[in-house]
Every structure is written in C-alpha cells, then in structure tokens.
Structure 1
Amino acid sequence: MVPASFWEHEPVRRALTERHLGRVIRAYRCHPYHGRVALPQTVVAGWLGITQAQLSRVENGPPLVHLDRLSHWAQLLRIPPRFLWFSLPGRSNEVAQHAALPVHQAGMTTPPALTDADVAASEQGGGTTDRRQFHALAALAGIAATGCLDLLAGPHDAARSIGMEQVRYASSLVDEFRRADAAVGANQLCGLAIRVHAQLSDWAAKATCSRDVGEALQATLADLAIETAWLTIDANRRPEARAYLNEAVARARFADDPRMEVRAFAYLALLTCRDRPGEALHAAEAALRSSAGWGTPRLATLLHLRSASTYATLNDMSGFHRAMSKAQREFERGTSESDMPFLHFVTAQEIKGIEGLAYLALGRPERAADAFRNITENPSPVLRRNQIYYSVQLADAAYRQGNLDEAAHTAMSLLPDIGQVSSGRVSLHLAQIRSSLGQPQRSTAATRKFVEAYDQAVHG
C-alpha cells in the first residue's frame, strides 16, 4: 500500500481539489513514489479494466460524473475517503475490501482463503455446489462487481446467444483473476481457474454469435487459457499448463490476434525451458518474429530473457551472453504506452533474477548469488512475490557455494513472508533448501536454527 504521504504530493492534491479523477489517475501514475519512470498507461488501464486509449481519454477529457465508476476506481486505487468529493458505498465484509487491490500491492495483503467446505463443494460438481464454488470465487477474486456471475451460472442457465457485452464480462473476469493472483497467489486460484475455463469454453462452444463477436470471444478465451496456464505453473502444476498454452495459440490465430499469440509463446518458452530447451528456444524466436514491427522494447526484453534462460539450460555460455546483451539493450530503451499490461514485471530486478537463474543452470553459483543479492539489496515495492522467489534462489546459490550459514540466514529471513505468498514454486524450493540444510553431516548452529524454525512454521 502506498504511504499516507503519497496523497499529500502537490499534483495529486491539486487533481483531487479539481474533482477530476482522470487527473488524479495521471498524478498517481507519475508520482515519484513509483521511481523515475511513470507507471505506463497500459498497466494502470489493466487495473481499471479499460484500454490504454480509454484511459488516455479519461485523463485528458472532461471529469467523470458516473458515481459507480468513480467509486469503483477510487477503491481500486485505495484513495482515502477523506480526500474524495463523493461517498463510497458501504462494503459488507473484509473479503470485499481486499478484492479490489491493484497489482502494485501484490503480497501486501492476503484475503481470506476459501473454507474447507467451499473447496469440498467445488470438487463435488453439480448445480448447487457449482453455485457455491462460483460465489466463493466471486468473493475471493472480486468478480461479483464485474457482472460476470451470469456467465458462471449452471449450464442450463447460460445464454445461448453471445453478444459483445458478454465477451466484455468474460474479459473482466480474466482481469479479476490477475488481480486476485497478485493478492493471494496461485495456490488458491489454480483449481478454480481450471473449472471456470472449462465452463466458459463449453458455454462458448455451444452458443451462437456474430463473426466479430466470435473473434473477440476467441481472443478472450485465449487470454483466460494463458492466465490459467500461468496459475498452474506458479502453483507447481506445470504439466497441466501445456494444453492451455497450445489452446491459447490456436485461439489467438482464430482471432487473428498476434499480441495474444506472442504472449502464449512467451509463457510456452517459460514452461519448457528446463525440460525441452530446444522447444523453448523455438517459442521465444517465434514470438520475436511475430512481434516484429509492433513489439515494444519491454516485450523484446522479455523474449530475449527467455532465450537467455534457454541457452543457459543448454550450457551455451556464448548464446546466453548474446541474449542477455540484447535484453539489456532493449530494456534501456525504456517503457512505452503500448506495453501490454502483463509486462509490468519486466524490471531491472527481473533481469538480475533471470541472470542469477541462468548462472545456477550454468553451474556458477557464485555469480548467481551476486545477482540475487543485487535484488535483495534493491527490493521492488511492487513485485513482492518475485522478491521472495529470488531470495529463496539466493539461499540455494549460497548453499551450492558451501556457504551454509548464509543460506540458513537467508532462508530464515523468508519464513515470516512465506505464509503471505501462495506460490507452489516458492514453497517447494524452500522445502528443498530445508532438506539440504537438514543433513546432519553438514549441520551448523545456523542451519539447525533454520530447520527448527521451518518445521515449526510449516508443521506447527
């Protein structure tokens, strides 16, 4: 959450005094709190559920007057009520308060998890339990406010003719999954996303629509498939991700949507880097070809990073250095208003993180540790989950170097945060470090202290 002083910044105060929420949003994006580079319009537009062009009109056009939109966006940005010129609607429970958190607050707040009864009901199937599942999902992910619940009704209640409004609802649902992922992590959302994907895909296959609506629907379902794939990856259910990404590529082509296709290839490169590096390299190269002419520097940065990771897996040091150099050059070209929202995580810290992972793959733990330390010493207030992920990697790199005490101290410092980061990848890796540091023949006072604290935190 931004500090209280954030709202005292003169451009923000002036925009609030002028009662112009669009100017408030612009002042928010350009606030020094976010660093020397303003938050891109595409990123903030993604939080608000609109396009970059629409946000530009909101920022530069006449003041908004619709109370529902004013209230919704004010809550998304967490503007303190005392600064507003309108009243916010009452919110009935804490789940609703957490549901609207924007991406920059990831890892700072954890909404209540589903109860065991909700999870059990969702696994049983059937009309009543499906409704229970989807209402639980709405509470968790903030979907209730989007109007999407009709799309998640039982199969006999779903509309048989699809219009553009229903496609927009489905697209909003994908956005809410992203926001919920930023707040609560993949473990709680993965199974729900799989079921929602199955139900919407089945509904779309049986319904009728015009050609234009059909193309928009295919693009939205591709987006949902990519988000579902990411959740399976982060929940450490990687084998399930491939089918969703293959589907996303096909749907993107049906919709003639190269941006969605490139996103799918980027995630496919991430998925296959360790087990099928040749395929990962082809996916990254295909994405670079498809984005030629319209891709932004940040997109090219990500794709070159994917290639660099793959070259490291192949133990190709020269290929790794070439790809990293290309990624760094593209990154230094800066952000663009045309950046796709999902690129918000491509930061200087991410480049260092990928470099560290590559050096681990190349058997250079000392170089990896240097890269990971750079991240821990220059933490990002935005990407808390990534910060924790790379801190776990630092503990691993230190262990591989033989620095057992550093590995134990680093891992110990993460224990208070692990409960707030619902990521199967992070949890599994930390468990592996605990296993390594728990070997009696390499025991030290620091390793024993960590193992005891870890076991207490995990097993009680």
Structure 2
Amino acid sequence: MSPGARSCIRCGGRLARDNGDELCGPCARGRERLPRLEPAQWRTEDMRNALLTREFGEVLRAWRRHPAHGGRPVPQIDLAGWLGITQGQLSRIESGRNRVRDLDKLNWYARTLGIPAELLWFELDGADDPGPPVTRDLELGNGALVPTTAPLSSSLLVESFSTVLEQYVRTDRVAGAHRLLPIITQQMRYVDQLDETGGSAPMGLQPLRARFAEFLGWLHQDAGNLPAASEWTRRAATLAGECGDERLQSYTLVRQSNIAAESGNPSAAIDLARVALRTPSNLSPRLRTLGLLQLAHGHALRRERGESDRAIGQAWDNAADSGAGDDLAGYCTPEFIRMEAAHSWVQLGKPEAAEEALLKALPLWQVEDRRDLGRGLALLAVAQARTGQAEQSLEAARRALAIAAETHSSRTMRQLHRLPEELRSRGGVDQAIELRKLLHRTVRAQR
C-alpha cells in the first residue's frame, strides 16, 4: 500500500483519496443496518463471559466492542436505534442502573442481535421457528435504506405522551380548563389502553397515568366539578403509590388538600397537607412550600391565625432554598406564594396584608400564567372591598372578570360572585350594582 493510503476500519479495504470517512462506500451504506455476528463470533471469551453474567447490559457492551465491528465500538446511538430505545436508556442498561428482567424485552433484544438460543440463560420464545428475517430494513436498488427494523417503542411512546402533557399544562395556565377537559379525558383513555395491549406495561407508564389523572383532576377542579376533581386526584394518588413515586404521591396529597379546602372541609385539608409534608428528603423545596401553603390555608379556614401565619412563614423560609425548575411544582414562584398567602389572609380578616402582598405580586406575574393572574386580581378586589376602596375594587374585578371570561375559571368566578355583597356591606352600593350587571352578562355569554 502506498504511503499515506488509508483503509476502511471495518473491512480493511483501501479508501479512495477523496473519501474523508473512515468507512469505504459499501460499509458506509451498511452503517444503518445492524451488523450480525457469525455463530462462532458469539463464542469468543469476552462474549461468553458477558453471557455468563446473565446481565444483558454486559452483553450489549461486549457486543458493541466486538472486534468483528472493525476495531471501534459500535456507537450507543446506533445500537439504541436498532433496539428501539433511546441512547440514555441503553447507557443506563449497560451501566447496570436499569437491569433488564422483562422476558419480552430479553426476547426482543436477543432476537434483534441474533444471539444463538443455546447461549442464553432464558428460553427464547419460538426458538425452533425461523423467526423474522435477519435484516428487515428495506434496501432500495440505489443502495438507500428504508428503516423498518425497530418496533413501536413503548418507552418512546411514554416519552412522547409526557411531552404532550407538559404542553397541555402550559396551555391550561394561559387558556384555562374548559377547552382542555374533553381532550385530556380522551388522552387519559388512550394512556390507560397502553396497559391493555398485552405483555408487560411499558416502563414509565404508571407515573404517566398518575400525572394524567392528577391533571384531569385539576381541570375538573378549575371547571367547578369538585366531586370529579376529588375522584381523579384520588386515583392519581393510588397510581403514584403503586409505582413507588413518593414525590408524585406527596404532590397528589397536596392537591387533595386543596380540593378539600375548596369543598369546605378544613380539617381534611390540614390532615392531607401534614401527610404530604411527612415525605422523606426527596421532597423538593417547592413541593414542600406548596404543602406548607396548603396547611396555612386549612388553618385560615378554621380562623386559626397563629398556626396559619406560622405555616406561611415556614413556606417563605423554605422557598429561599428553592432552585429553578421542578417538574411538579414549578409554578410555585414568589408571586404564587404571595397570592396564596393573601388568600389565607383574606380568610383571616387581614385584608390590608392581603392587599400589600398582591400589589407586590401582580406586576411580576408572567404572561403564561394568565388564568392565575385573574384569580389574583379577584382576591385583590375582595381585599380592597374590605378596606373600603370600592372604586379600586371594582376596577380590579373588571380586569379579573375579563380574564375569567376567557379561561372559564370557576375559582375566579366564585370570588367575584361573592364580591357584590362585600361592596354593598361596606357602602359601595353603586359598585355592587355595576359588578352584578357585569357578572350577569359574562355568565349569560358563557352559556
């Protein structure tokens, strides 16, 4: 071979001068196809040692590093694609963090790689059958490939639904529950059906079902259907318990506490919040803050000022440790904490403190939290009515009502429906009459 000549790392053939790749043309075209080991190549010392461990992660790592692949390990991302999983999942399997014990998965991985049945520590289903073709990618006449080897990946399906759920949560914060309820109800049915397709449930399905059930419970709550909200949130708590997700279980307990408070049962609200706060150390600071705020609200409903203020103080102390981001309680921002504290102070007959907190919070409210901005404005209107600021109260109520008309938030509307009596009892008769007219028009337009 002439000086400077290069060879293909897989077949050893000479590379063309203008080929900047490390593979020759034929090997490069076959890169998308899973390379098959010959029966004898499965019996090398490294492969046999890996198979003797009975850990499929060891087998996959040994397979990627087999000399038959040309001296360089097969990239994880390539093998992951052939197996129908993500690169992250493959990495966790190889490192031993995720141990493959599901027989269906073991069968699929073994068949995909072509491991001889007699070398396996488990019985290969249909070992006497010829099985599927060795390579199921469709090769076109021009050398191009149509990939068809990977099955429908349950893990990717779960991941896709999780992404969709996050998008719906953001939509709810802007537009409210009423548009999403029929959509999420249908999505919940489909997620449930993933567990009824035969075989083992996909990894991550139970937490996904719990998240969808909790979100559906929230949508019913904001739409004003508290019995349905309670039922769906209770189901979410059960699913979270079954999959051993303590953080999600605590979050559903906080949500149950919130529903109990809205249902007029402060004792249950307090008990549920206390149980949620007893979760071990993996409870995030924001989630703990939510539990403390709910505890404060339960005490406020029972007019227990000292206990409520103490819980609010603990919530602020705890919030100081909150980092950015929390997949469950990310909305627990300083603005949200002030709004929830104001809600408790309104209940406790401290409208001045509530007004002060809300006037600090509302200018900082984010556009994507429009529905909760409406609720905050409604609380401000109540606080201002109780301090004798009838005109300011009516103006805040107008703005809250405009948002509630878009989002159909029953929580905001409940606050506003109580407001005319608050105004009237404190001398704001004209403002009470005007607000009643606005409420009547809004309710009629929503029917």
Distance in 1 (CA, whole Å) between partners of 2:422 and 2:304 is 28
User: Which of 369, 373, 379 matches 2:355?
Assistant: 369
Structure 1 residue aligned with 2:297? 309
Match of 1:176 among 167, 178, 191: 167
Aligned residue for 2:227? 239
Residues in 2 aligned to 1:340 and 1:438: alpha-carbon distance in whole angstroms: 43
Deviation at 1:221, TM superposition (A): 0.4
Counterpart for residue 289 of structure 1: 278
Q: Is the Cα–Cα contact under 8 Å of residues 162 and 208 in structure 1 kept in the other structure?
A: no
Q: Which residue of 2 aligns with 1:412?
A: 398
Q: Which amino acid aligns with 1:307?
A: L
State the superposition RMSD in angstroms. Answer: 2.9
Matched with 2:187 is 196
Aligned-pair identity (%):
21
Q: CA deviation at 1:362?
A: 1.6
Q: For 1:360-387, what per-residue CA distance to the aligned partner results, in whole angstroms no more than 9, with x for missing partners?
A: 2223333323322332354444533222
RCO higher in structure (CA 8 A, sep ≥6): 1
Are residues 379 and 223 of structure 1, via their aligned partners in 2, closer, same or farther at CA, if it must alter by over 3 Å? closer
Q: Which residue of 2 aligns with 1:391?
A: 377
Distance 1:236 1:173 in 2: 24
Look up the equivalent residue of 2:197 and give its one-letter code: A
Q: Deviations over 1:270-295 (max 9, x none)?
A: 111242222222222222222x2222
Letter in 2 for 1:280: A
Please tell me whether the aligned partners of residues 355 and 383 of structure 2 are also in contact (alpha carbons under 8 angstroms).
Answer: yes
Displacement of 1:329 after TM fit?
0.7
| CA–CA distance in structure 2, aligned partners of residues 350 and 392 of structure 1 | 14
Q: Which residue of the partner structure matches residue 277 of structure 1?
A: 266
1:165-211 CA distances to partner (integer Å, 9 max, x unpaired)?
3323332332232133133210111233234324532x245322326
Q: Using a 3 Å threshold, how does the CA distance of structure 1 residues 415 and 278 change in structure 2: closer, same or farther? A: closer
Structure 1 residue corresponding to 2:196, chosen from 206, 211, 216: 206
Q: Which residues of 2 match residues 43-442 of structure 1 at below 5 A? A: 163-201=154-192, 203-210=193-200, 213=202, 216-274=204-262, 275-290=264-279, 292-336=280-324, 339-434=325-420
Contact 2:285 2:321 in 1 (8 A): yes
Paired residues of 2:371 and 2:404 also in contact (CA < 8 A): no
Deviations 1:8-31 (A, max 9, x none): xxxxxxxxxxxxxxxxxxxxxxxx
Give a deviation string over 1:215-239, Cα, whole Å, max 9, x none.
5211110010011011111112122
**CA distance in 2: counterparts of 1:315 and 1:168, whole angstroms:** 45
Distance (whole Å) between structure 2 residues aligned to residue 221 and residue 379 of structure 1: 31
**Shift in CA distance, 379/163, structure 1 to aligned 2, threshold 3 Å:** closer
Q: For residue 188 of structure 1, give the secondary structure of its aligned residue in structure 2.
A: coil
> How far is the alpha carbon of 1:442 from its aligned partner?
5.0
CA distance in 2, matches of 1:358, 1:237: 22
- How far, CA to CA, are the matches of 1:377 and 1:176 in structure 2? 25
Structure 2 CA distance for aligned equivalents of residues 372 and 253 of structure 1: 36
Contact kept? 1:194, 1:228, Cα under 8 Å: yes
Q: Write the letter of the residue equivalent to 1:365.
A: P
Would the alpha carbon gap of residues 415 and 260 (structure 1) be closer, same or farther in structure 2, given more than 3 Å must change?
A: closer
Preserved CA contact (<8 Å) 1:409 1:450: no
Letter in 2 for 1:286: V
CA distance in 1, matches of 2:353, 2:425: 25
Superposed displacement of residue 451, structure 1 = 4.7
**CA–CA distance in 1 between the matches of 2:368 and 2:344?**
23
Change (3 A) 1:418 1:284: closer
State the Cα distance separating 1:421 from its structure 2 match: 2.9
Contact 1:163 1:209 in 2 (8 A): no
What count of residue pairs does the alignment treat as equivalent?
Answer: 293
Between the aligned partners of 2:278 and 2:444, the Cα distance in structure 1 is 49
Question: Contact 1:222 / 1:249 at 8 angstroms: preserved in 2?
Answer: yes
* Residues 288 and 188 (structure 1), Cα distance of their counterparts in 2 relative to 1, 3 Å cut: same
Please, which moves more after superposition, 446-455 or 415-424? 446-455
Task: Describe the superposition over 1:278-331 as per-residue Cα deviations: whole angstroms up to 9, x where unpaired.
Answer: 2222222222222x2222222221211111111111222221122111111111
Find the aligned partners of 1:440 and 1:182 in 2 and give their Cα distance. 34
* Cα distance in 2 between the residues matched to 1:418 and 1:163: 39
Maintained 8 Å contact 1:162/1:209 = no
Residues 185 and 351 of structure 1: CA distance in aligned 2, closer, same or farther (over 3 Å): same
Q: Any gaps of 5 or more consecutive residues in structure 2?
A: 1-151
> Does the CA contact (< 8 Å) of 1:162 and 1:207 recur in 2?
no
* Higher share of residues assigned helix: 1
Which ranges of structure 1 fall in alignment gaps of 5 or more residues?
1-160
Inter-CA distance 276–441: structure 2 relative to 1 (3 Å threshold)? closer
Find the structure with the greater CA-based Rg.
2
The one-letter code sitting in structure 2 at the alignment partner of 1:257 is: D
CA distance in 2, matches of 1:441, 1:301: 38
Q: Are the aligned partners of 1:349 and 1:380 in contact in 2 as well (CA < 8 Å)?
A: no
For normalisation by structure 1, the TM-score amounts to 0.57
Contact 1:368/1:394 (CA < 8 Å) preserved in 2?
yes
Q: For residue 323 of structure 2, give the secondary structure of its aligned residue in structure 1.
A: coil
CA pair 190-365 structure 1, distance change in 2 beyond 3 A = same
* Conservation of the 8 A alpha-carbon contact between 2:237 and 2:253: yes
Q: TM-score, normalised by structure 2?
A: 0.59
